Amino acid sequence: MARIFPALGGADYDMHGMFIGERHDDPEHFNQLLEIWPTLSARISVLFLEHYFAGDSPSGQSVQQIRQYLTARNFLQTAVLPHQIKALTILARHSGTEIMGLDVSRAAAGAPVYNPINWRTSQLLQEMWISAVNQAMLRYPRKPHYAVYGGGAHGPMLRRYGLPNIACYTRDGEAYREYTAWNLAGVVTWAR
């Protein structure tokens, strides 16, 4: 049965989190994240962003620094993204929510040569994301609730490779809805 956003919680470790999927080239996805921030931040302690590498954070950075970082990563998908991330860091600071990077480069992973799409959808990358979440959670005395924000296809892959109960949400018009699959063409299969 489909869970209602922002459902998370429970005894299992992976139930402490949720995945929020976006289309990188659609700035409305990030705008909607900003709009629902009061509801989301009341439920989570940490937000992991695909846009930043594990160990990095946009917190305290200017719009120009964010733009430079995303450009160097070849992750500047829209012109407004640096402004959106800066707005998110301000909201997070006021709500006491930590923002952390999550991503891992192919080179840093020591992975074989993949084309970019194969690397982004590889089991190794998803397992490294799960490891980054696990490492970050060790810093907290109690397991905090968290959200991962990234490309929509990653959510079901994280579920497949180590977080079987994580709820995956994306926008459906003006609301968030749980989904079970997101193919590389961007076609979403909604949870029932």
Residue 8 maps to a domain = no
User: Per residue in 177-190, pLDDT tens?
Assistant: 999 999 888 899 99
What's the pLDDT at 184? Answer: 80
Is 1 inside a domain boundary?
no
- Residue 74 region by backbone torsions, left for phi larger than 0, else alpha for psi between -120 and 50, else beta: left
Q: For 45-54, what is the mean pLDDT? A: 95
86 within some domain: yes
Q: Tell which phi-psi region holds residue 163, choosing left (phi > 0), alpha (psi between -120 and 50) or beta.
A: beta
Query: Is 2 inside any structural domain?
Result: no
Question: Domain for residue 7, yes or no?
Answer: no
88-144 pLDDT per residue, tens: 999 999 999 999 999 998 888 887 766 777 888 889 999 999 999 988 888 877 777
Per the structure, the complete domain to which residue 157 belongs is given by 13-190
**What are the tens digits of pLDDT across the range 141-154?**
777 789 999 999 99
Q: Is residue 166 part of a domain?
A: yes
H-type helices in 73-161, by residue range? 81-95, 106-109, 116-120, 123-137, 154-160
Number of domains composing the chain: 1
With respect to residue 99, please indicate whether it lies within any of the assigned structural domains. yes
pLDDT, tens digit, for every residue of 10-26? Answer: 444 445 889 999 999 99
Check residue 15 and give its pLDDT: 54
Instruction: Say if pTM beats, i.e. exceeds, 0.85.
Output: yes
Q: What percent of the chain has pLDDT over 90?
A: 65
